[in-house]
Structure 1
Amino acid sequence: MSEHVIHATDADFDSQVLQSSEPVLVDFWAQWCGPCKMIAPALDELATTYAGRAKVVKVDIDKNQAVALKYHVRSIPMLLLFKDGQVQATQIGAVGKAQLAQIIDKAL
């Protein structure tokens, strides 16, 4: 796992994501989710590639239900791109690294 991936909680989601000066790709996931595990290596690579320009944040929905409810997470993996505290893009389901990079690039 990349040291650049941030694990946010209900308690620090606002400071890690909403108040970030950089675009933030948030991965809502769970330990038991197979597709979530499939995209994890791509997210690790993106976190390293975009370090200093954008952030990759993971939120475990089993441990952080308040944030998951707030953003209406009904199926996972669900990825939201935040910029200036607002959702700019949504991706539901496992997709490739190139598609996730496009989402980040649009926000830069």
Structure 2
Amino acid sequence: MAAQTITARDWQARVSGSGEPAVVNFGAERCGFCKALEPLYSRLADHYAGRMRFLKMTADDPQNQKIVQNAGIQGTPTLKFYCRGREVGEHVGYAIEPVLRKKIDAVLEEMESCLANSTPVSK
């Protein structure tokens, strides 16, 4: 399953209020490293399908600025990991596939406890 693009309008349903673990790739239109990360992010989305939702948000889109600011995004690409709307990890910058798989695997190990012991964040 390919990574899906979201906007601020989708945030509540797809991240904050969701019971599914998610990773959001905050990227920018003119970011070379963001463009380089795209095919890798798509492969990871396919590899982890059913275990984690892979989402993308354009950080330089004015409609997304409140989410970007609340997430503390200072550079792109930035991957933020969420469990029931709570941030549980991040990776800033480009990385090769083994590095990102290791990070995702570590987050998924912690995810079971989060999913069992918390409820989705409300608006």
Q: Normalized against structure 1, the TM-score is what?
A: 0.89
Q: Of the candidates 28, 31, 35, which is equivalent to residue 29 of structure 2?
A: 31
Are the equivalent residues in 2 in contact too, given 1:23–1:84 (CA < 8 A)? yes
Q: Is the Cα contact below 8 Å between 2:22 and 2:52 reproduced in 1?
A: yes
Question: How do 1:23-102 and structure 2 match up within 5 A?
Answer: 23-63=21-61, 64-102=64-102
Structure whose residues are more often helix by fraction: 2
The Cα of 1:106 is off from its aligned counterpart by 2.1
For residues 33-78 of structure 1, what are the alpha-carbon distances to aligned partners after superposition, in whole Å with 9 as ceiling and x for unaligned?
0000111111000111111111111000122111111111111111
Larger Rg over CA atoms: 2
| 1:6 corresponding residue in structure 2 | 4
Structure 2: unaligned runs, 5 residues or longer = 109-123
- Contact (CA 8 Å) 2:79, 2:91: kept in 1 or not? yes
- Preserved contact between residue 83 and residue 107 of structure 1 (Cα < 8 Å): no
Q: How many residues align?
A: 106
8 Å Cα contact 1:23-1:55 kept in structure 2: yes
Q: Tell me if structure 2 keeps the 8 A contact 1:78–1:93.
A: yes
Question: In the TM superposition, what is the alpha-carbon distance from 1:80 to its structure 2 partner?
Answer: 0.6
Percent of matched pairs sharing the same residue: 30
- Inter-partner Cα distance in structure 2 for 1:95 and 1:72: 20
Normalising by structure 2, we get a TM-score of 0.79
How many angstroms does 1:103 deviate by?
Answer: 2.2
**Letter of the 1:81 counterpart:** F
Between 96-105 and 5-14, the greater mean CA deviation after superposition? 96-105
